[in-house]
Chains A and B, each alone.
Chain A
């Protein structure tokens, strides 16, 4: 027998003939995390995030050198002062409640204030949005067994888009709740899609078709609503929301998305084995005792939660959820435990890097201060990447 225990650590990549030995079943609790490829993916993604993040905190209306920016990010006056840290992360009210501190917070330098108040939260929101979208897309690709599935395949984006337009155009007084309304609209559309697809159970194909149907109807309604917008500001705001933008994001958005992101990511890692089993096909999964409808609905729910969390803070950012799982799958393989972990790094890297283009691109190209929605950049990057994949890979579609 050769099954002596388990080779601990994915470093066990001895080459066996033509097939690289890759055993995702390293049964030690964290052994699978040490897979060489996954580590490389994580580290290079981190490098991208740090580099793009530094660019983001250095440049802008108040420019500073990278050294200054770096010192501001690592300013001990913030990092070593739990009051300031809490003040940023959870907000002043909660900080005072937690620490019982009533006085005036110590002075910070100008650079530190700009970086921590304005620029850093935007990077963090980008990280959260990227991770959420990537994980959401990865889950939907397993649930629908289709590599071309995105977080928005089951009507989420069109539902969110419609409610965004409704809020901005018709119920203007509710626009303070826009993030929540958008997330809610996406979730409701998902439920409608599920109800339409249900007929003694669902199937991946029926789900996707129902998603297309609901998407078509909702998008038409959404477009129709544009005609009723009489203010160019409303239209621009609507476009920013429906293409996805990180402009003006703040610690408030971090606070809004963080808890849900945490829940969604935890659940998706816990559900990795279910996702792997779904890839074996419905028949096999059922024969192995999976209650397939329940698992499929629950996993879709997790994916919608992740998508909704990102919609609430950034609107509908396209392509990230579609291409990141793809890239990661090409890099670390189909095993969902690794795939999800990989998505947690690559998604933020893509999002933060794209946001550099969205925030600073126009000033480089046209010399203006205008920012474009980050969704435009992800689309510009994502389209060609997909083209490249299409030319390179013979079979695309089914996982």
Chain B
């Protein structure tokens, strides 16, 4: 996997204003040397209109710039909700999300989408769309209403497809792919969006081992070779520990622990947050978790 295109080109650096004159390629080398983007959620109260109680009730999270942060927790712990809040998909009832100091809710939607990409858990695609077409949709925020695709778009798409390792799928219809291949195609789409911040909602769930590793490797490459700030919701705590620079553990909408994996992923935390007795052994690939039994006491 070549990585030449990665460097700073991953960040397009400009915002709102480039809409009108962005014809000549916003993603073209625009190596503004601003550091990786900061994403901060402050006092977030997040819920759904149908439910009375908020799922996340007043939590703050400062995502480390340029690093990989994993959100872990049991089902219903609010990790996906928190991610949706960070992505401005859910409007917080209280609190705010700041991207490089700007409130995401007040940002122009396209400007935000040029800085922050989100891969949702459930993605539907129409029949008959080719992978390459899907990936080109990732360029949407970089294009004006009547604008045609540019060289820069083509480059970003090629790069994203290459990075996601789905070059061989390029002309296949998304509907005909396996679950794992589909996920790679969708990841290529968010990569083509060319954002500073990438939020991924359970990108490895339901994938076979091979594709889980593929996805993890993509995220690692992003971290190692670019300044992208990644927040990823993971079901598998061992995977989280291995992949992430920071782990944030949630339970019942509360953040119970945060920090480097070695500090967060402990037997106590697994008992407290995941309600399992487990053995945690430190290895050179990070903590190894062996679940032993579910805890039934409360």
Q: How far is the CB of A221 from chain B (nearest CB, A)?
A: 33
Cβ A289 vs Cβ B113 within 8 A: yes
Q: How far is the CB of A398 from chain B (nearest CB, A)?
A: 8
Does any Cβ of B come within 8 Å of A287's Cβ? yes
Which residues of chain B from 200 to 249 have any CB-CB distance to chain A below 8 Å in the complex?
none
Which residues of chain B from 92 to 130 have any CB-CB distance to chain A below 8 Å in the complex?
109-114, 117-120, 122-130
Interfacial chain A residues near B176, Cβ < 8 Å: 18-19
Cβ A280 vs Cβ B123 within 8 A: yes
Looking at B122, B125, B126, B148, the one whose CB has the most chain A CB atoms below 10 A away is B126
Having A17-B172, A25-B136, A333-B128, one finds 13 other A-B pairs with CB under 8 Å, namely A3-B154, A3-B158, A3-B167, A19-B172, A23-B130, A27-B148, A27-B154, A276-B129, A284-B120, A284-B123, A289-B109, A335-B128, A399-B126
Q: How far is the CB of A4 from chain B (nearest CB, A)?
A: 9
Q: How far is the CB of A143 from chain B (nearest CB, A)?
A: 14
With A3-B158, A19-B171, A25-B136 as contacts: A286 and B89 at CB distance below 8 Å: yes
| A289 CB contact (under 8 Å) in B112, B122, B148 | B112
Interfacial chain A residues near B44, Cβ < 8 Å: none
Cβ B140 vs Cβ A288 within 8 A: yes
Interfacial chain B residues near A273, Cβ < 8 Å: 140, 143
Residues of B within 8 A of A (CB-CB), count: 48
Cα A290 to Cα B88 with chains together (Å): 12
Interfacial chain A residues near B173, Cβ < 8 Å: 19, 22
Does any Cβ of A come within 8 Å of B81's Cβ? no
A-B contact pairs, 6 of them (CB 8 A): A3-B157, A22-B173, A24-B129, A283-B120, A287-B190, A399-B127
Does any Cβ of A come within 8 Å of B272's Cβ? no
Cα A399 to Cα B125 with chains together (Å): 9
Interfacial chain B residues near A399, Cβ < 8 Å: 126-127
Does any Cβ of B come within 8 Å of A334's Cβ? yes
Which residues of chain A from 13 to 50 have any CB-CB distance to chain B below 8 Å in the complex?
16-19, 21-25, 27, 29
Q: How far is the CB of B18 from chain A (nearest CB, A)?
A: 13
| Interface set of A (CB-CB < 8 Å, partner B) | 1-3, 5-6, 16-19, 21-25, 27, 29, 200, 270, 273, 276-277, 279-281, 283-284, 286-291, 333-335, 399
Cα A16 to Cα B132 with chains together (Å): 14
With A1-B162, A283-B89 as contacts: A27 and B149 at CB distance below 8 Å: yes
| Interface set of B (CB-CB < 8 Å, partner A) | 49, 87, 89, 109-114, 117-120, 122-130, 132-134, 136-138, 140-141, 143, 145-146, 148-149, 154, 157-158, 161-162, 167, 170-173, 176, 190, 193
Which 3 residue pairs are nearest across A and B when measured between Cβ atoms?
A289-B113, A289-B141, A3-B158
Q: In the complex, which residue of chain A has the Cβ closest to the Cβ of B113?
A: A289
With A19-B171, A25-B136, A283-B120 as contacts: A288 and B162 at CB distance below 8 Å: no
Interfacial chain A residues near B126, Cβ < 8 Å: 279-280, 334, 399
Interfacial chain B residues near A29, Cβ < 8 Å: 148
Q: How far is the CB of A17 from chain B (nearest CB, A)?
A: 8
Cβ A270 vs Cβ B146 within 8 A: yes
Q: How far is the CB of A144 from chain B (nearest CB, A)?
A: 14
Interfacial chain B residues near A284, Cβ < 8 Å: 120, 123, 137
Q: In the complex, which residue of chain A has the Cβ closest to the Cβ of B173?
A: A19
Looking at B109, B122, B158, the one whose CB has the most chain A CB atoms below 10 A away is B109
Cβ A270 vs Cβ B157 within 8 A: no
Interfacial chain A residues near B129, Cβ < 8 Å: 24, 276, 279, 334-335
Cα A23 to Cα B173 with chains together (Å): 10
Cβ B133 vs Cβ A25 within 8 A: yes
Cβ A286 vs Cβ B154 within 8 A: no
Cα A97 to Cα B204 with chains together (Å): 70
Cβ A3 vs Cβ B146 within 8 A: no
Cβ B137 vs Cβ A22 within 8 A: no
Q: How far is the CB of B4 from chain A (nearest CB, A)?
A: 10
